Amino acid sequence: MADKPRVLMCPPDYFGVEYEINPWMSVARGVDHARAAAQWGALRDTLGELGAEVEQMAPVAGLPDLVFTANAGLVYRDVFIPSRFRFRARQGETAHFEAWARSRGFRVEPPPDGMSFEGAGDALFCGATLFAGYRFRSDVQSHQWVGERLGVEVLPMELVDPRYYHLDTCFCPIAPDAAIYYPGAFDEYGRAVIRARIPRLIEVRPEEAHGFSCNAVVVGRTVVLNRGAPRLAEDLRAMGFEARPLDFSEFIKSGGSAKCLTLRVDGEEAAAWRDPDSPP
Protein backbone atom coordinates (compact mmCIF):
# COMPACT_ATOMS: atom_id res chain seq x y z
CA MET A 1 0.00 0.00 0.00
CA ALA A 2 1.20 3.52 -0.77
CA ASP A 3 2.37 5.72 2.13
CA LYS A 4 0.00 8.30 3.53
CA PRO A 5 -0.05 11.66 1.72
CA ARG A 6 2.03 14.17 3.73
CA VAL A 7 1.04 17.81 4.02
CA LEU A 8 2.85 20.68 5.77
CA MET A 9 0.72 23.38 7.42
CA CYS A 10 1.48 26.23 9.85
CA PRO A 11 -1.13 27.30 12.43
CA PRO A 12 -2.50 30.85 12.01
CA ASP A 13 -1.58 32.08 15.53
CA TYR A 14 0.13 35.19 14.10
CA PHE A 15 -1.80 35.40 10.81
CA GLY A 16 -3.10 38.83 9.82
CA VAL A 17 -3.07 41.41 7.06
CA GLU A 18 -0.23 43.67 8.18
CA TYR A 19 1.03 44.87 4.80
CA GLU A 20 -0.30 44.97 1.23
CA ILE A 21 1.58 43.04 -1.44
CA ASN A 22 -1.32 41.85 -3.61
CA PRO A 23 -4.65 43.41 -4.64
CA TRP A 24 -6.66 41.33 -2.14
CA MET A 25 -4.87 42.64 0.94
CA SER A 26 -6.18 45.66 2.86
CA VAL A 27 -4.63 46.47 6.22
CA ALA A 28 -7.68 48.60 7.04
CA ARG A 29 -10.09 45.69 6.67
CA GLY A 30 -8.38 43.36 9.16
CA VAL A 31 -8.93 39.68 9.88
CA ASP A 32 -11.27 37.89 12.29
CA HIS A 33 -8.75 35.76 14.17
CA ALA A 34 -11.18 33.33 15.77
CA ARG A 35 -12.75 32.69 12.39
CA ALA A 36 -9.37 32.24 10.72
CA ALA A 37 -8.39 29.68 13.37
CA ALA A 38 -11.65 27.78 12.84
CA GLN A 39 -11.25 27.78 9.03
CA TRP A 40 -7.65 26.59 9.27
CA GLY A 41 -8.68 23.85 11.73
CA ALA A 42 -11.44 22.68 9.39
CA LEU A 43 -8.92 22.31 6.56
CA ARG A 44 -6.49 20.38 8.77
CA ASP A 45 -9.27 18.08 9.99
CA THR A 46 -10.64 17.53 6.49
CA LEU A 47 -7.20 16.59 5.12
CA GLY A 48 -6.83 14.21 8.07
CA GLU A 49 -10.19 12.60 7.31
CA LEU A 50 -9.09 12.16 3.70
CA GLY A 51 -6.16 10.10 4.94
CA ALA A 52 -3.38 12.70 4.90
CA GLU A 53 -0.80 13.11 7.62
CA VAL A 54 -0.73 16.81 8.47
CA GLU A 55 2.56 18.03 9.85
CA GLN A 56 2.55 21.36 11.69
CA MET A 57 5.34 23.89 11.59
CA ALA A 58 5.79 26.28 14.53
CA PRO A 59 4.20 29.70 13.85
CA VAL A 60 6.43 32.75 14.34
CA ALA A 61 5.37 36.17 15.66
CA GLY A 62 5.91 38.92 13.10
CA LEU A 63 5.54 36.59 10.10
CA PRO A 64 1.80 36.76 9.35
CA ASP A 65 2.08 34.98 5.96
CA LEU A 66 4.03 31.96 7.25
CA VAL A 67 0.66 30.15 7.22
CA PHE A 68 0.95 29.99 3.42
CA THR A 69 3.25 26.98 3.34
CA ALA A 70 2.76 26.51 -0.42
CA ASN A 71 5.32 29.30 -0.66
CA ALA A 72 7.91 27.45 1.46
CA GLY A 73 9.60 26.11 -1.64
CA LEU A 74 9.39 23.40 -4.28
CA VAL A 75 9.70 19.72 -3.37
CA TYR A 76 11.14 17.29 -5.93
CA ARG A 77 12.00 13.83 -4.59
CA ASP A 78 14.64 14.49 -1.88
CA VAL A 79 15.44 18.02 -3.11
CA PHE A 80 13.87 21.15 -1.63
CA ILE A 81 14.32 24.44 -3.49
CA PRO A 82 13.47 27.14 -0.95
CA SER A 83 11.63 30.29 -1.96
CA ARG A 84 13.33 33.62 -2.50
CA PHE A 85 10.50 36.06 -1.83
CA ARG A 86 9.99 39.09 -4.04
CA PHE A 87 8.88 41.35 -1.17
CA ARG A 88 10.92 42.10 1.94
CA ALA A 89 7.84 41.60 4.13
CA ARG A 90 8.01 37.84 3.50
CA GLN A 91 11.77 37.35 3.29
CA GLY A 92 12.04 36.50 7.00
CA GLU A 93 10.07 33.29 6.37
CA THR A 94 12.82 31.65 4.35
CA ALA A 95 15.08 30.69 7.28
CA HIS A 96 12.16 28.89 8.97
CA PHE A 97 11.16 26.98 5.84
CA GLU A 98 14.77 25.99 5.14
CA ALA A 99 15.24 24.79 8.73
CA TRP A 100 12.09 22.71 8.42
CA ALA A 101 13.29 21.11 5.15
CA ARG A 102 16.72 20.30 6.61
CA SER A 103 15.14 18.75 9.69
CA ARG A 104 13.17 16.45 7.38
CA GLY A 105 16.27 15.31 5.52
CA PHE A 106 15.79 17.24 2.28
CA ARG A 107 18.80 18.45 0.29
CA VAL A 108 18.20 22.20 0.35
CA GLU A 109 19.30 23.87 -2.90
CA PRO A 110 18.60 27.61 -2.93
CA PRO A 111 18.26 29.56 -6.18
CA PRO A 112 21.20 31.90 -6.92
CA ASP A 113 21.16 35.41 -5.43
CA GLY A 114 19.07 37.97 -7.18
CA MET A 115 16.29 35.65 -8.38
CA SER A 116 12.73 35.65 -7.07
CA PHE A 117 11.09 32.27 -6.73
CA GLU A 118 7.96 31.56 -4.67
CA GLY A 119 7.95 27.78 -4.57
CA ALA A 120 4.83 25.68 -5.03
CA GLY A 121 2.80 28.89 -5.28
CA ASP A 122 4.27 29.39 -8.76
CA ALA A 123 5.64 25.98 -9.83
CA LEU A 124 3.33 22.98 -10.18
CA PHE A 125 3.95 19.59 -11.73
CA CYS A 126 1.36 18.17 -14.10
CA GLY A 127 2.70 14.82 -15.25
CA ALA A 128 6.47 15.07 -15.77
CA THR A 129 6.34 18.77 -16.67
CA LEU A 130 6.71 21.72 -14.34
CA PHE A 131 4.21 24.49 -15.16
CA ALA A 132 5.62 27.75 -13.89
CA GLY A 133 4.01 31.18 -13.46
CA TYR A 134 6.05 34.37 -13.58
CA ARG A 135 5.88 38.15 -13.52
CA PHE A 136 4.26 39.24 -10.25
CA ARG A 137 6.35 37.10 -7.88
CA SER A 138 8.71 34.53 -9.44
CA ASP A 139 11.09 35.54 -12.26
CA VAL A 140 11.17 33.63 -15.50
CA GLN A 141 14.94 33.13 -14.94
CA SER A 142 14.32 31.35 -11.65
CA HIS A 143 12.08 28.82 -13.38
CA GLN A 144 14.74 28.18 -16.01
CA TRP A 145 17.28 27.63 -13.25
CA VAL A 146 14.93 25.24 -11.41
CA GLY A 147 14.34 23.24 -14.59
CA GLU A 148 18.05 22.85 -15.25
CA ARG A 149 18.82 22.04 -11.64
CA LEU A 150 16.14 19.32 -11.44
CA GLY A 151 16.52 18.10 -15.00
CA VAL A 152 12.82 18.50 -15.74
CA GLU A 153 10.94 20.22 -18.54
CA VAL A 154 9.65 23.64 -17.46
CA LEU A 155 6.93 25.59 -19.25
CA PRO A 156 7.02 29.21 -18.03
CA MET A 157 3.71 31.01 -18.39
CA GLU A 158 3.17 34.71 -17.92
CA LEU A 159 0.47 35.76 -15.48
CA VAL A 160 -1.37 38.81 -16.77
CA ASP A 161 -3.90 39.75 -14.05
CA PRO A 162 -2.51 41.03 -10.72
CA ARG A 163 -5.37 39.37 -8.82
CA TYR A 164 -3.96 36.03 -9.98
CA TYR A 165 -0.40 36.81 -8.96
CA HIS A 166 0.64 33.25 -8.10
CA LEU A 167 0.10 30.36 -10.52
CA ASP A 168 -1.79 28.39 -7.86
CA THR A 169 -4.51 31.07 -7.79
CA CYS A 170 -5.55 30.22 -11.37
CA PHE A 171 -4.22 26.72 -12.20
CA CYS A 172 -4.45 23.43 -10.35
CA PRO A 173 -3.26 20.08 -11.70
CA ILE A 174 -5.57 17.34 -10.37
CA ALA A 175 -3.99 14.27 -12.03
CA PRO A 176 -0.93 13.73 -14.26
CA ASP A 177 -3.13 14.37 -17.32
CA ALA A 178 -5.75 16.73 -15.88
CA ALA A 179 -6.04 20.27 -14.49
CA ILE A 180 -8.46 23.04 -13.69
CA TYR A 181 -7.58 26.60 -14.78
CA TYR A 182 -8.94 30.09 -15.26
CA PRO A 183 -8.15 31.19 -18.84
CA GLY A 184 -8.42 34.93 -18.04
CA ALA A 185 -5.28 34.83 -15.87
CA PHE A 186 -3.06 33.87 -18.85
CA ASP A 187 -2.19 35.39 -22.18
CA GLU A 188 -2.96 33.69 -25.49
CA TYR A 189 0.36 31.86 -25.43
CA GLY A 190 -0.12 30.51 -21.89
CA ARG A 191 -3.62 29.30 -22.70
CA ALA A 192 -2.32 27.58 -25.84
CA VAL A 193 0.43 25.84 -23.86
CA ILE A 194 -2.04 24.54 -21.27
CA ARG A 195 -4.46 23.32 -23.96
CA ALA A 196 -1.72 21.66 -25.98
CA ARG A 197 -0.08 19.89 -23.06
CA ILE A 198 -2.87 18.80 -20.70
CA PRO A 199 -5.39 16.38 -22.22
CA ARG A 200 -8.20 16.77 -19.68
CA LEU A 201 -9.02 20.36 -18.72
CA ILE A 202 -11.73 22.14 -16.79
CA GLU A 203 -12.15 25.84 -17.50
CA VAL A 204 -13.26 27.79 -14.45
CA ARG A 205 -15.72 30.64 -14.96
CA PRO A 206 -14.60 34.18 -14.00
CA GLU A 207 -17.00 34.53 -11.05
CA GLU A 208 -15.95 31.18 -9.58
CA ALA A 209 -12.25 31.83 -10.21
CA HIS A 210 -12.66 35.15 -8.42
CA GLY A 211 -13.81 33.15 -5.40
CA PHE A 212 -10.40 31.39 -5.35
CA SER A 213 -11.82 28.04 -6.44
CA CYS A 214 -8.69 27.18 -8.50
CA ASN A 215 -6.66 27.30 -5.29
CA ALA A 216 -7.48 23.70 -4.39
CA VAL A 217 -5.84 20.86 -2.48
CA VAL A 218 -6.08 17.44 -4.12
CA VAL A 219 -5.99 14.26 -2.02
CA GLY A 220 -6.68 11.17 -4.08
CA ARG A 221 -9.80 12.05 -6.06
CA THR A 222 -11.08 14.66 -3.62
CA VAL A 223 -10.57 18.35 -4.32
CA VAL A 224 -10.77 20.64 -1.28
CA LEU A 225 -11.57 24.21 -2.30
CA ASN A 226 -13.28 27.44 -1.29
CA ARG A 227 -17.06 27.24 -1.21
CA GLY A 228 -19.15 28.97 -3.84
CA ALA A 229 -18.12 27.14 -7.02
CA PRO A 230 -21.08 24.89 -7.90
CA ARG A 231 -20.28 24.76 -11.64
CA LEU A 232 -16.71 23.68 -11.01
CA ALA A 233 -17.97 21.05 -8.53
CA GLU A 234 -20.22 19.66 -11.28
CA ASP A 235 -17.40 19.60 -13.83
CA LEU A 236 -15.14 17.84 -11.33
CA ARG A 237 -17.80 15.22 -10.67
CA ALA A 238 -18.16 14.57 -14.40
CA MET A 239 -14.41 13.90 -14.50
CA GLY A 240 -14.56 11.48 -11.57
CA PHE A 241 -13.48 13.85 -8.77
CA GLU A 242 -15.38 15.02 -5.72
CA ALA A 243 -15.35 18.69 -4.67
CA ARG A 244 -15.17 19.34 -0.93
CA PRO A 245 -16.06 23.01 -0.31
CA LEU A 246 -14.92 24.78 2.88
CA ASP A 247 -14.91 28.42 3.95
CA PHE A 248 -11.63 30.36 3.57
CA SER A 249 -12.97 33.93 3.78
CA GLU A 250 -10.34 35.16 6.27
CA PHE A 251 -7.40 33.87 4.23
CA ILE A 252 -8.80 35.28 1.00
CA LYS A 253 -8.42 38.71 2.64
CA SER A 254 -4.68 37.99 2.35
CA GLY A 255 -4.92 36.62 -1.19
CA GLY A 256 -4.75 32.93 -0.29
CA SER A 257 -7.07 29.94 0.10
CA ALA A 258 -6.95 26.15 0.55
CA LYS A 259 -3.92 25.31 -1.59
CA CYS A 260 -1.79 28.21 -0.32
CA LEU A 261 -2.21 26.90 3.23
CA THR A 262 -0.57 23.57 2.36
CA LEU A 263 2.63 22.10 0.99
CA ARG A 264 2.46 18.53 -0.28
CA VAL A 265 5.66 16.99 1.03
CA ASP A 266 5.54 13.65 -0.80
CA GLY A 267 4.66 15.16 -4.20
CA GLU A 268 1.34 16.39 -5.52
CA GLU A 269 -1.13 13.82 -6.86
CA ALA A 270 -0.53 15.17 -10.38
CA ALA A 271 3.27 14.88 -10.22
CA ALA A 272 4.49 11.93 -12.29
CA TRP A 273 7.68 11.62 -10.20
CA ARG A 274 5.80 10.47 -7.11
CA ASP A 275 5.15 7.18 -8.89
CA PRO A 276 7.89 4.84 -7.59
CA ASP A 277 8.26 3.34 -11.10
CA SER A 278 9.01 6.66 -12.79
CA PRO A 279 12.70 7.13 -13.75
CA PRO A 280 14.78 9.26 -11.34
Binding residues (CB under 6 A) for ligand ARG: these are 21-22, 25, 65, 68, 70-71, 90, 121, 166, 168-169, 254-256, 260
C-beta atoms surrounding 112 within 10 Å: 11
Residue 33: its H or E element? helix 33-49
Angle CA(194)–CA(233)–CA(127) in degrees, nearest 5?
A: 35
CB of 65 to ligand ARG, least distance (A): 5
CB of 207 to ligand ARG, least distance (A): 19
Alpha helices in 50-169, H assignment, sequence order? 88-91, 94-103, 140-150
260 noted as active-site residue:
yes
Collapsing DSSP to helix, strand or coil, 62 comes out as: coil
CB of 180 to ligand ARG, least distance (A): 15
Which candidate, 223, 217, 225, 218, places its Cα nearest to that of 248? 225
Q: Which of 10, 170, 172, 260 is catalytic?
A: 260
The separation between the first and the last C-alpha atoms of the chain, rounded to the nearest angstrom, is 21
Residue closer to ligand ARG, measured from CB, 119 or 245: 119
Q: Which of 166, 170, 172, 214 is catalytic?
A: 166
CB of 1 to ligand ARG, least distance (A): 31
Residue closer to ligand ARG, measured from CB, 89 or 239: 89
Chain-centre distance of CA 107, in angstroms? 21
Burial (CB < 10 A; 0-12, 13-18, 19+), residue 11, is middle
Residue type, 140: V
Residue number of the CB closest to ligand ARG reads 121
33 noted as active-site residue:
no
Residue closer to ligand ARG, measured from CB, 135 or 177: 135
Active-site residues: which are they?
166, 260
